[in-house]
């Protein structure tokens, strides 16, 4: 990526230029130190124009119908409710050439054709922390560009759910019912993150099974939430094919957000998210510095060799590696340099 004029980029975002938005997202996705510095500057410039969107997480096991749902719901929100809709994804396993994204692209063709939609696939590769950071910063770019609904699709394998619930206002969980089969892929920890649950593909032969599943899950949610103060997530059914139930799902999702706002908990929730992010970023930067430090690498090789011939304990080895890290810290861009 060639060098960017960050002020110009911020202006382009404010003007809603798709090219500027795409470039800004590419910039915040980059992990190169020079790009990170530019990204920080950019995020500072756009900060006053962020935070105004309704941030919604959408989760469910692969094949649950998330992308099809996002397409149908996104089109509805634009055409009928006059929103501007941005779609992001958190999928640490994805690669840009991989099948899942191509699949998503075709499943979201109707939405992609709308002027008021912006769809960005998950940043590829890397660890969850990096992907989540890029997604969160992309969300800020899209808010500054005037998108007022941000849908964040996640892959439904656990950790990415937790990351996404840490960046959205309302978390919508999609579930599928299979005839004669109990609900698949339900983990209690994940269900507890859900603010609203929808059983998808409630159409044709599957409609009845979806209703039964919704009833069962509703009862299960009662049990899960009975032991704490947590509000019980409502369970609905919908079909992205027929459109049945989509309005109810959105109304329920919007109601959750409205309740947060009325209770004053939206601000609290976002502040808690900021605090989590603060420490996530500190942890990520530290791990990255540790991973890339030449001193640490050299020392680690020694330590591992000594561990192998039992001339050193793990405890002593850890101390040596930390000492090597401490010696290298002063050369890091964010390290304070006392006495200068």
- The answer to whether 40 touches 10, Cβ cutoff 8 Å, is no
Place of tokens 């998950």: 122
Site membership for ligand GDP, residue 94 (CB under 6 A): no
Count Cα neighbours of 26 within 13 Å in the Cβ-side half-sphere: 13
Helix (H, G, I), strand (E, B) or coil at 264: coil
Residue 201 interacts with ligand GDP (CB under 6 A): yes or no: yes
Count interface residues toward ligand GDP (CB under 6 A): 16
Q: Which does 203 bind (CB under 5 to 8 A by kind): Mg ion, ligand GDP, none?
A: ligand GDP
Between residues 67 and 237, which has the closer beta carbon with respect to Mg ion? Answer: 67
Per CB under 6 A, the segment of 39-47, 62-70, 109-117, 221-229 that binds ligand GDP is 62-70
Q: Which residue has the tokens 């992001």?
A: 88
Q: Which is nearer to Mg ion, 38 or 104 (CB)?
A: 104
Q: Give the closest residue to 253 by CA, choosing from 48, 83, 49, 62.
A: 83
State yes or no: residue 294 binds ligand GDP (CB under 6 A).
no
Which single residue is written with the structure tokens 């795409």?
22
Q: How far is the CB of 155 from ligand GDP (least distance, A)?
A: 8
Q: Which of 68, 165, 252, 299 binds ligand GDP (CB under 6 A)?
A: 68
Q: Which DSSP helix (H) or strand (E) runs through 118?
A: strand 117-119
Residue 40 Cβ, how far from Mg ion at the closest point, in Å?
Answer: 31
Measured from the CB atom, the residue of 59 and 293 that comes closer to Mg ion is 59
Question: Of residues 107, 120, 133, 136, which one binds ligand GDP by CB under 6 A?
Answer: 107
Q: Is 293 in the site for ligand GDP (CB under 6 A)?
A: no
Q: Is the Cβ of residue 41 or residue 114 nearer to ligand GDP in the bound state?
A: 114
Tokens for 264, please give them: 């004053």
- CB–CB of 99/69 below 8 Å? no
The residue ranges that bind Mg ion (CB under 5 A) are 66-67, 104
Between CA 91 and CA 216 the distance in angstroms is 29
Virtual torsion, Cα 42, 47, 49, 53, nearest 10 deg: 110
Query: 299 is in the binding site of which of Mg ion, ligand GDP, none (Cβ under 5 to 8 A by kind)?
Result: none
Extended strands (E) in 5-98: 54-59, 85-90
Question: Which residues of this protein are in contact with ligand GDP, per CB under 6 A?
Answer: 60, 62-68, 103, 107, 200-201, 203, 239-241
């Amino acid at each position: 990526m060639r060098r960017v004029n960050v002020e110009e980029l911020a202006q382009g975002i404010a003007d809603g230029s798709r090219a500027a938005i795409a470039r800004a997202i590419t910039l915040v996705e980059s992990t190169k130190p020079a790009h990170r510095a530019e990204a920080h500057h950019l995020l500072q410039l756009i900060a006053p124009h962020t935070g105004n969107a309704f941030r919604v997480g959408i989760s469910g096991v692969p094949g649950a119908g998330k992308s099809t749902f996002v397409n149908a719901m996104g089109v509805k929100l634009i055409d009928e409710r006059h929103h501007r809709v941005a779609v992001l994804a958190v999928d640490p396993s994805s690669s840009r050439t991989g099948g899942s994204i191509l699949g998503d692209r075709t499943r979201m063709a109707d939405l992609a054709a709308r002027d008021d939609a912006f769809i960005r696939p998950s940043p590829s590769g890397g660890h969850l922390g990096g992907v989540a950071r890029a997604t969160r910063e992309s969300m800020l770019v899209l808010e500054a560009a005037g998108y007022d609904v941000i849908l964040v699709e996640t892959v439904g394998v656990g950790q990415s759910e937790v990351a996404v619930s840490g960046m959205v206002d309302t978390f919508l969980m999609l579930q599928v019912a299979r005839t004669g089969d109990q609900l698949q892929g339900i983990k209690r920890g994940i269900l507890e993150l859900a603010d609203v649950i929808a059983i998808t593909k409630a159409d044709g032969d599957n409609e009845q099974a979806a209703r039964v599943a919704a009833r069962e899950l509703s009862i299960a949610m009662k049990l899960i939430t009975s032991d704490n103060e947590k509000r019980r997530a409502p369970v609905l059914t919908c079909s992205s094919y027929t459109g049945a139930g989509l309005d109810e799902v959105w109304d329920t999702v919007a109601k959750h957000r409205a309740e947060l706002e009325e209770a004053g908990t939206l601000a609290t929730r976002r502040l808690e998210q900021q605090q989590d992010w603060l420490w996530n970023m500190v942890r990520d930067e530290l791990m990255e510095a540790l991973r890339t430090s030449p001193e640490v690498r050299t020392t680690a090789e020694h330590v591992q060799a000594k561990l192998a011939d039992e001339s050193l304990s793990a405890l002593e080895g850890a101390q040596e590696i930390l000492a090597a890290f401490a010696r290298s810290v002063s050369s890091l861009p964010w390290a304070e340099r006392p006495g200068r």
